[in-house]
Amino acid sequence: MADLVMNLYLNGGKSEGDDNAAQSSYERTDGDVFSRLATDVSTCPFTREDSGEIGWVDNPSNHRDKSDLNDVYADILSSEAIEDLFSRRVKGGDVIKVEGKDGWHLIRVDDLFIKLVGDTDTTADGSKNRINKVRPKLKGSGQIPLSPVFQKIGTDADIIDSNDGIDNDDEQSKMIYSVPNAKHYQILTSGCQMNVADSERIMGVLEGELGLKALDAINTADPTLITTSNKKSKNKKKPTPDILLLNTCTIRDHAEQKVYDALGPYTAMKRAGKPLAIVVAGCVAQQEGEALLRRFPEIDLVLGPQYIPWLGELLVEVGKGSQLCMTESMIWSEKGGIGAIDKDSSREKDGDWMTPIKRGHSVRAWVNVIYGCNEHCTYCVVPSVRGVEQSRSMEAILQECLQLAASGYKEVTLLGQNIDAYGRDMIPKRTFADLLHYLNDNLPPNTISRIRYVTSHPRYFSERVIDAVANLDKVCECFHMPFQAGDDEVLRGMRRGYTFDSYMKIIQKIRAKAPDASICGDVIVGFPGETEEAFQRTLDLMEEVKFDNLNTFAYSPRPNTEAANWENQIPPEVQSERLQRVQALAAKHALERSERYVGKVIEVLVEDRNPKNGGEVMGRTRQGRQVFFEGDIDELKGELVNVEITEARTWSLVGGSIQD
């Protein structure tokens, strides 16, 4: 099995001349040597500001076009130095000297990302192996829990949408067998868009492959668990589910405890004799793994996000009495490169475009483009629960978008935890800007007219993405660029790889090239060690940018993250006081940003009825602002209309009449 170094995570410093004396005086005596090297002697302002941290650097030989390489490196490592680095066989922990025309660099390899080549058997046909991981039921206290029997009734991978999907006769006629005794499911979802998109895929598998029906919403102890079930039950007496699925989030707060609280009534129901399958999916599942099964022997399946395509098979196993923990990391991603899908169509589950998806909306849809995250932000649990980056091929993404276009969708939002990393795990390399161009050029006219994406990372964001947003007709003028903090010391502690000034440089480029674009962000207050002065820098940055929308969070220590173990934690009362201050300022800026639309006629894509006023509809501008205005949803749903904006609210706009 050959392997190929795709990316290296680097630390280091740079010197103008060939100064071996300087090199030998910095022998690796402690873990901090590169921080000192960079801070004391490096002539590179970027690594100096960042204590030597360089971040992930791509292998240039995998880029067809050298202009694809992230702009950021040009300021840190010369292209000769990068090429020299990748021409050697390096491994984690190596310290090496590389030379480029602008000087020499002393580099430490902190991590590497290797593409396994020629390993298709394990990636393509691993489902059998995974199912063989069946373990006998764990003995819990009391009765052995019961699960209903599941049987696969269809393998059709059509996209199912909420309007005319699984309920119509055509879909029913595709079903091959009947379901022995499992009929209804209940899914409770918490967390980000990624989790909502995952729930759509879970529902697609439950309905499309197992023929189950969604139950009406049921109350749970946890108000943050939102039901995504949208079926209205006709019976007064609510049926109970045959399968309960919790799709969980662990990014903040006491997520595990919330899951335990939500599980309580169902485990009790099961112990009382109700045949019920309990599945815990999402990030808590991935984080806790078998510990969940030990704590709650009533759980049948712990499902890491990457195993969703196999959910049908796994539930059939559960129906036979197995208890499964599917959280081991695996690599399954579609091979990059044109024609990859055609070459290997036998890989039935090779990518989620093949699994049925029950879309929650009929106008806009989520499309995953890259899973996982390779970053090392010291507060974030995502890399440990979502695994390494795995990009889907551009062709598979287009395929899914074309299916959406054919079903009448008008907008797609491309999803990735760090979307700027898109394509760096591919051979040949692709970039996120390439993907935007490819989709923009290949989606037929008058179908999907809006492409959005989340989430950018300031460290890897490239100017080509700004150009794509500014120039491509379908790509919306909307940037989601989390800054997390304004103070350089705090940013270093977070290991974000940029500074106040370098973040502002990106904002200036955006404002110059796409002046009307909205800029949204995420911020964390009360990160360990954040002083009042440091917090003030966050407010300063907000004043300079004036975000259209800001997601504000108080730092919460997460398991398996570095910062959780630091001693300089900030007391909760200080955190909540700072949170209130950022929220007040964010609201002030959001209103100012809304006001710029008043009196203008703006293109709005109509999505829904206004839930608070049935005579009004809700749509969104290209910049992502909600607009409420009078109209008939049956006539306008999915239409692009020009609306005059009459009033600005903090987070939304009010529209007047539709203009021609």
State the nearest-atom distance from the C-beta of 13 to ligand SF4, in Å.
Answer: 24
Residue closer to ligand 5AD, measured from CB, 5 or 380: 380
**Strand 184-189 to 243-248 pairing:** parallel
If one counts every other C-beta atom within 10 angstroms of the C-beta of residue 56, the result is: 25
CA distance 619 to 639: 9
Is residue 379 near ligand 5AD by the rule CB under 6 A? yes
**433 touches, from ligand SF4, ligand 5AD, none (C-beta below 5 to 8 Å by class):** none
**432 touches, from ligand SF4, ligand 5AD, none (C-beta below 5 to 8 Å by class):** none
Among positions 36, 174, 252, 274, the unique one binding ligand 5AD when judged by CB under 6 A: 252
| Cross-strand partners of 365 | 412
Residue 159 and residue 407 in contact, taking contact as beta carbons nearer than 8 Å: yes
Residue closer to ligand 5AD, measured from CB, 104 or 555: 555
Residue 469 and residue 479 in contact, taking contact as beta carbons nearer than 8 Å: yes
3-state secondary structure 500-533: HHHHHHHHHHHHHHCCCCEEEEEEEECCCCCCHH
Residue closer to ligand 5AD, measured from CB, 256 or 608: 256
Q: What is the pattern of x (binds ligand 5AD, CB under 6 A) and - over residues 538-557?
A: ---------------x-xx-
Alpha-carbon radius of gyration of the chain: 26
Residue closer to ligand SF4, measured from CB, 130 or 252: 252
**Of 622, 586, 652, 643, residue with least CA distance to 478:** 622
State the nearest-atom distance from the C-beta of 494 to ligand SF4, in Å.
Answer: 8
If one counts every other C-beta atom within 10 angstroms of the C-beta of residue 358, the result is: 24
State the nearest-atom distance from the C-beta of 626 to ligand 5AD, in Å.
Answer: 21
Residue 346 makes CB contacts below 8 A (sequence gap 6+) with 124
Name the residue with tokens 């050697």: 88
Please report how many Cα atoms fall inside a 13 Å half-sphere around the Cα of residue 424, on the Cβ side: 28
Among positions 38, 205, 302, 380, the unique one binding ligand 5AD when judged by CB under 6 A: 380
Residue closer to ligand SF4, measured from CB, 187 or 419: 419
Residue 623 and residue 520 in contact, taking contact as beta carbons nearer than 8 Å: no
Type and span of the H or E element at 248: strand 243-248
State the nearest-atom distance from the C-beta of 195 to ligand SF4, in Å.
Answer: 13
Residue closer to ligand 5AD, measured from CB, 42 or 575: 575
CA distance 11 to 606: 48
CA distance 395 to 328: 27
Name the residue with tokens 């399954």: 332
**373 touches, from ligand SF4, ligand 5AD, none (C-beta below 5 to 8 Å by class):** ligand SF4
User: In terms of residues, how long is the chain?
Assistant: 660
Residue 211 and residue 312 in contact, taking contact as beta carbons nearer than 8 Å: no
Residues 469 to 528 in contact with ligand 5AD, rule: CB under 6 A: 482, 484, 522, 524
**375 touches, from ligand 5AD, ligand SF4, none (C-beta below 5 to 8 Å by class):** ligand SF4
State the nearest-atom distance from the C-beta of 600 to ligand 5AD, in Å.
Answer: 31
CA distance 423 to 58: 10
State the nearest-atom distance from the C-beta of 379 to ligand 5AD, in Å.
Answer: 4
Q: Which residues bind ligand SF4 (CB under 6 A)?
A: 373, 375, 377, 380, 382-383, 417-418, 457
State the nearest-atom distance from the C-beta of 195 to ligand 5AD, in Å.
Answer: 11
State the nearest-atom distance from the C-beta of 592 to ligand SF4, in Å.
Answer: 27
Residue 367 and residue 422 in contact, taking contact as beta carbons nearer than 8 Å: no
Residue closer to ligand 5AD, measured from CB, 251 or 303: 251
Residue closer to ligand SF4, measured from CB, 383 or 493: 383
Residue closer to ligand SF4, measured from CB, 367 or 377: 377
**Strand 640-648 to 518-525 pairing:** unpaired
Is residue 211 near ligand 5AD by the rule CB under 6 A? no
**418 touches, from ligand SF4, ligand 5AD, none (C-beta below 5 to 8 Å by class):** ligand SF4
Total residues contacting ligand 5AD (rule CB under 6 A)? 12
CA distance 473 to 475: 6
Name the residue with tokens 């909760």: 572
Is residue 303 near ligand 5AD by the rule CB under 6 A? no
Residue closer to ligand 5AD, measured from CB, 51 or 552: 552
Among positions 184, 271, 386, 558, the unique one binding ligand 5AD when judged by CB under 6 A: 558
Residue closer to ligand SF4, measured from CB, 14 or 480: 480
Is residue 274 near ligand 5AD by the rule CB under 6 A? no
**If you write DSSP's letter for every residue of 171-232 in order, what string do you get?**
HHHT--S--SS--EEEEEE-SSHHHHHHHHHHHHHHHHTT--EEPPP---S-TTSEE---PP
**Which residues contact ligand 5AD (rule: CB under 6 A)?**
251-252, 379-380, 482, 484, 522, 524, 553, 555-556, 558
